[in-house]
Amino acid sequence: MIWNEHAECMPREDLEALQLRRLQELVVRVYHNVPFYRKKLQAVGYEPGDITSLKDIEELPFTTKQDLRDNYPFDMFAVPMSEVVRVHASSGTTGKPTVVGYTRRDLDIWAEVTARCLYMANTDRKGVIQIAYGYGLFTGGLGLHYGAEKVGASVIPMSGGNTEKQLMLMEDFGSTTLACTPSYALHLVESLEKSGKDRSKFKLKYGIFGAEPWSERMRKQIEDRWGIKAYDIYGLSEIMGPGVACDCDVRNGLHINEDHFYPEIIHPETGAALPRGEKGELVFTTFTKEAFPLIRYRTRDITTLHDEPCACGRTTVRMEKITGRSDDMIIVRGVNVFPTQVESVLLEFGETAPHYQLIVEREGTLDKLTIEVELSPALFSDTVTELSHLERRIFHRVDSVLGISADIKLVEPFSIPRSEGKSKRVIDKRVL
Amino acid sequence: MIKQISLFLENKKGRLAHVCRAMGEEGINIRALSIADSTDFGVLRLIVDDPQKAEAQLKERGFLVTITDVIGIKVADRPGGLAAALDLLETADVSVEYMYAFLGKCGDRAMVILRLNDAAKGLEVLKRYGIEIMEESEAYNF
Ligand SMILES: [Zn+2]
């Protein structure tokens, strides 16, 4: 199902012409309305009107999360507050949240792009969608909500939590689509299995999951245990919220709603634009957002873009599932290493990834990477030979997946320090 | 089969003492033990008088513990006594993954713990040729 064939299946030349026009308008708009951008553009010698091709975007300065913090709360808005009809905020790990604003038209476009994603996930007016994303300052709940109303689905605005009630209403109301984070989808199915309820009384067929990175293996787990098809929806509140991209039934990446959000891939260290097909940091420019436009916003998410035609008929560019965050990236002996890659290797050895930690040291002039892995009951065997064999198997998988040889060290459970339930993934002891 | 406690230990100072102290605090008696180690870690194996309690208490203290089934045999305490039993297993193509002895002996018999790759077959062979097998209770209350 395609919600907006005109926009999603446009020939690429037409799409690029539309993007150029929108980029030119955007640069003019922010230059005149946002002092922050005017200063930044002037600093690199840019005047509105200098943009004559899409490639010129590569000359524009980046916008970072720090810029948003520095302009807290509303200084990056491009319209007066009287035009702003909604604000959302994402909780920062430290201090003040990141605030985003929407005009009436922004909300319409948000509903439009989310509607496209819901159609990719087979949810239309016949669907009953249970939205278990949080409603409130977080963009997840309300973001999905208006998209779901736009496609005409029956919306159950549950918000997050209250698992027992979620399951009761899911059964009683006959929800066909579930929208929430992938980890909550797993939690729900675990509770369902424990409750002794009869799965065949549920009508659930599809899930649209996002707001946190998840692996293909996790997708398979959700699909097998729930007996549904699971789709990956991507978005971040700075750009819009959910609805920036979603994967179709072909499953070869997430279609980006490119007429509104322009993606680029850059080298996370040098900032250089990278050609299609190369892996790097995802950067977005919002073409049409009125209240809170962003130019070349660094998402810190690591992925690869593909623009060969998709079998579903859409012509929009596809991004691979997010494989890591550039914040966490370390370079060891010239190789980019993401903790999430290590995690995916470890997942091959058991149902859930054990806790692990990467330790980088410098011995003489050489970097040395040690991966400490907490041994779990499932991996424990009581002969040293087998445990050493396990270490060697992990070593070989890390070597072939990451292209780096690392010392694998099995450690006792709970020996890797945790902060707020999450363990610190990387310890860099190098003195450079 | 005798229930053996198997514990994963990093080669760090004080870990072994911690285990022994925990057993002492809970009034659990250690009957036999062995340690196998590599450069980074070791596996500690214990025969105790109350394996279930020992497992629960060690888990509560955050140790990685499992219970492994092992066989105990009694062999003549003289040169070649153990060799006879091992020869039987070898002939039957049953391999010994590891073994260790009890401290002290029972009459004129030495007590040995065996972990075999095929316990059922091993037991059958040992019994057939008259090797004395330890009862579970004998191992715990030795
Ligand atoms: Zn597609």
Is residue B103 over pLDDT 80? no
Is residue A421 over pLDDT 70? no
Q: Final residue of a domain: which of B68, B90, B111?
A: B68
Residue A291, judged by CB atoms within 10 A of its CB (0-12, 13-18, 19+), counts as: buried
Q: Which of A382, A416, A418 to mutate to test the interface with B (most CBs of B within 10 A)?
A: A382
Counting residues of chain A whose pLDDT is more than 90, the rounded percentage is 73
- Domain count along chain B: 2
Is residue A289 over pLDDT 60? yes
- The mean predicted confidence, pLDDT, of chain A is 92
* B36/A contact by beta carbon, under 8 A: yes
Question: Do residues B26 and B52 lie in contact, with contact meaning Cβ atoms separated by under 8 Å?
Answer: no
pTM of the model: 0.70
What pLDDT digit, counting tens, does each position of A299-341 carry?
989 999 999 999 999 999 999 998 777 777 788 887 878 888 8
Note the ipTM here.
0.86
Q: In terms of DSSP bridges, do strands B41-48 and B30-37 run parallel, antiparallel, or are they unpaired?
A: antiparallel
Residues B8 and B27 grouped into a single domain:
yes
What pLDDT digit, counting tens, does each position of B25-44 carry?
999 999 899 999 888 899 99
Give the pLDDT confidence score for residue A337 in this predicted structure: 85
Phi, psi of B74 (to 5 degrees): -115, 125
First to last CA, chain A: 53
What are A148's two structure tokens? 């779901």
How many CA within 13 A on the CB side of residue B20? Answer: 8
Strands (E), B38-92: 41-48, 64-76
Residue A260, judged by CB atoms within 10 A of its CB (0-12, 13-18, 19+), counts as: buried
What pLDDT digit, counting tens, does each position of A30-85 carry?
999 999 999 999 999 988 889 999 999 999 999 998 899 899 999 999 999 999 99
Q: In terms of DSSP bridges, do strands B132-133 and B64-76 run parallel, antiparallel, or are they unpaired?
A: antiparallel
Q: What is the C-alpha to C-alpha distance for residues A121 and B55, in angstroms, rounded to an integer?
A: 48
Least confident of A222-226, A343-347, B122-126: A343-347
Give the pLDDT confidence score for residue B107 in this predicted structure: 76
CA distance A400 to chain B (A): 24
Q: What is the C-alpha to C-alpha distance for residues A360 and A353, in angstroms, rounded to an integer?
A: 21
For residue A223, the surrounding DSSP H or E stretch is helix A216-226
pLDDT mean over A183-190: 88
* B40/A contact by beta carbon, under 8 A: yes
Strands (E), chain B: 2-10, 30-37, 41-48, 64-76, 96-106, 109-116, 132-133
Q: Quick one: closest CA in A to B45, which residue?
A: A382
Give the pLDDT confidence score for residue A388 in this predicted structure: 94
Domain positions in chain A: 1-327, 330-428
Least confident of A88-97, A216-225, B10-19, B115-124: A88-97
What pLDDT digit, counting tens, does each position of A126-185 carry?
999 999 999 999 999 999 999 999 999 999 999 988 999 999 999 999 999 999 988 889
Q: Final residue of a domain: which of B46, B68, B90?
A: B68
Tell which CATH classification among 3.40.50.11540, 3.40.367.20, 3.30.300.30, 3.30.365.10 matches the domain A330-428: 3.30.300.30
Chain mean position to CA A110:
17
Question: Do residues A397 and A348 lie in contact, with contact meaning Cβ atoms separated by under 8 Å?
Answer: yes
pLDDT mean over A209-219: 84
What are A45's two structure tokens? 């010698």
Q: What is the C-alpha to C-alpha distance for residues B21 and B7, in angstroms, rounded to an integer?
A: 15
Is residue A422 over pLDDT 60? no
Three-state secondary-structure class, residue B36: strand
* A415/B contact by beta carbon, under 8 A: yes
CA distance B95 to chain A (A): 14
* B64/A contact by beta carbon, under 8 A: yes
Q: Quick one: closest CA in A to B98, which residue?
A: A383
Residues B76 and B118 grouped into a single domain:
yes
The DSSP code for A328 is G
Least confident of A177-191, A240-254, A324-338, B52-66: A324-338
**Distance from residue A77's CA to the centre of ligand 1 (Å):** 34
Q: Quick one: closest CA in B to A409, which residue?
A: B40
Q: Final residue of a domain: which of B19, B41, B68?
A: B68
Q: How confident is the model at residue A95 (pLDDT cuts 50, 70, 90)?
A: low
Residues 6+ apart with CB under 8 A from A329: A268, A302, A336, A337, A338
CA distances from A111 to A209, A285, A419 (A): 17, 19, 37
CA distance B122 to chain A (A): 19
Architecture of domain A1-327: 3-Layer(aba) Sandwich (3.40)
Residue A193, judged by CB atoms within 10 A of its CB (0-12, 13-18, 19+), counts as: exposed
Residue B89, domain extent? 69-141
Give the pLDDT confidence score for residue A91 in this predicted structure: 67
Give the pLDDT confidence score for residue A283 in this predicted structure: 98
Q: How confident is the model at residue A403 (pLDDT cuts 50, 70, 90)?
A: confident
Give the pLDDT confidence score for residue A126 in this predicted structure: 98
Any idea how long chain B is?
142
Q: Which residue has tokens 């509770």?
A: A191
Is residue B18 over pLDDT 80? yes
* A91/B contact by beta carbon, under 8 A: no
Give the pLDDT confidence score for residue A92 in this predicted structure: 56
